[in-house]
Amino acid sequence: MKAVYASTVNHADPLAALAVGEQPEPQARPFWSTVSVRAVTVNHHDVWSLQGVGLAAEQTPMILGTDAVGILDEDIPGKHGLKAGSEVVLYTFVGTDGAGVAPGERRTILSEKYPGTMAEKTSVPSANVFAKPASLTTAEAAALGTSWLTAYSLLFDAAGIKPGDSVLIQGAGGGVSTAAIQLAHAAGLEVFVTSRSEEKRDRAIAIGADAAFETGARLPHKVDAVIESVGAATWSHSVKSVRPGGTIAICGATTGDQPGAELTRIFFQDIRVQGNTMGSRDDFARLLKFVEHADLHPVIDSTYALADAPAAFRKVVDGDVFGKVVLHIEPSK
């Protein structure tokens, strides 16, 4: 089957390790289900895999991809309504609760130990298969499994914010930040965002931000929580912008992961720093309901064919995005 995969790892030049070509189809496993993939999105996790973060050279070739929407290949016994031919979205954490794997198996995301989703077919534990929200297009639904799940978990679990609270979202434009803006607005939060780009600031306001500022600018007031995915370039501003007793919820560090920690400010002001990677299966189920009930639609930056994956990855690496970059997978004839 056709797939996008890491042929090796290359920290200095991750795109040099990217390949598009033939890979074996998923093998049948008890309590797993196979899905014919129709769309996936490109995430920073895919780039990190190419760099050797969480993926060793001896594990390659490894199919990339951590989210997907597709068509279920076979019925799932006991899972109401999920029959062969159903449109489904996938939760791609494996090992969180033993579903489909050996007891005590370490938590991993597809593309770390098990093949990922950037292929004509993929396989996940059957418990990780959910009906696609009918209100979403295929491309929109593909965005839910990684960026939108991460944003949901950051806001409502890691940061613990509630309707009426205020939140700063650093770095408007990426998949997590655009999702966080839309989710936070729908939940009744006061939403501030930052970006170096005036165009991205304007677009952030259009999708729900209350105000948008230059990166590093002083806010009208301190916020209850900060959603941080940028890292070194915005960390100091995040620490200065959160109220005493507030939370910085962090899911990434695209500009570097070694900022000055500013520990004195953190402990004197009782600031909580909470890390987060994606979210739980229950979070994913709640996200699907929230998106449908609030009529939310993930922002799609651009769509590429599977064969054009290198161009899609280049766009993500360059940071030239607002929303999600999607790979559309045509079924084999």
Q: Of 304, 330, 277, whose CA–CA distance to 66 is shortest?
A: 277
In terms of domains, do 16 and 116 share one? yes
Highest mean pLDDT among 28-32, 102-106, 218-222: 218-222
User: Does residue 113 sit within a domain?
Assistant: yes
Q: What is the pLDDT of residue 96?
A: 66
In terms of domains, do 130 and 14 share one? yes
Is pLDDT at 98 greater than 70 in this prediction? no
Is pLDDT at 187 greater than 80 in this prediction? yes
Can you read off the two tokens belonging to residue 316?
A: 């993500």
Instruction: Give CA–CA dist 212/191, Å, rounded.
Output: 9
Q: What is the pLDDT of residue 173?
A: 87
Is pLDDT at 77 greater than 70 in this prediction? yes
Region for residue 184 given its phi and psi (left: phi exceeds 0; alpha: psi -120 to 50; beta: otherwise): alpha
Q: What is the pLDDT of residue 124?
A: 95
In terms of domains, do 130 and 12 share one? yes
Instruction: Give CA–CA dist 59/308, Å, rounded.
Output: 24
The 242-250 sheet, strands edge to edge: 211-213, 190-194, 166-169, 223-228, 242-250, 272-275
Instruction: Give CA–CA dist 5/40, Å, rounded.
Output: 13
In terms of domains, do 125 and 154 share one? no
Q: What is the pLDDT of residue 254?
A: 75
CATH of the domain at 258: 3.40.50.720
Output the average pLDDT for the chain.
93
> Distances from the Cα of 290 to the Cαs of 66, 78, 188, 281, 296, in angstroms?
21, 24, 13, 14, 8
Domain of residue 129: give its range: 2-143+299-328
In terms of domains, do 125 and 186 share one? no
81 or 308: which leads in pLDDT: 308
In terms of domains, do 26 and 71 share one? yes
Averaged pLDDT, 74-101: 85
Is pLDDT at 71 greater than 70 in this prediction? yes
Q: What is the pLDDT of residue 252?
A: 81
Q: Of 87, 88, 125, whose CA–CA distance to 109 is shortest?
A: 125
Supply angle C-alpha 15, 116, 113, rounded to 5: 100
Instruction: Give CA–CA dist 119/25, Å, rounded.
Output: 9
Instruction: Give CA–CA dist 205/34, Å, rounded.
Output: 40
CATH of the domain at 113: 3.90.180.10
In terms of domains, do 198 and 305 share one? no
Q: What is the pLDDT of residue 310?
A: 98
Averaged pLDDT, 220-240: 92
Per-residue pLDDT of 112-143, as tens digits, reads: 999 999 999 999 999 999 999 999 999 999 99
In terms of domains, do 126 and 53 share one? yes
Query: How many domains does one find in the chain?
Result: 2
Confidence category of residue 319, pLDDT binned at 50, 70, 90 = confident
Q: What is the pLDDT of residue 257?
A: 80
Can you read off the two tokens belonging to residue 169?
A: 């979202």
Instruction: Give CA–CA dist 210/204, Å, rounded.
Output: 9
Can you read off the two tokens belonging to residue 3?
A: 């797939």
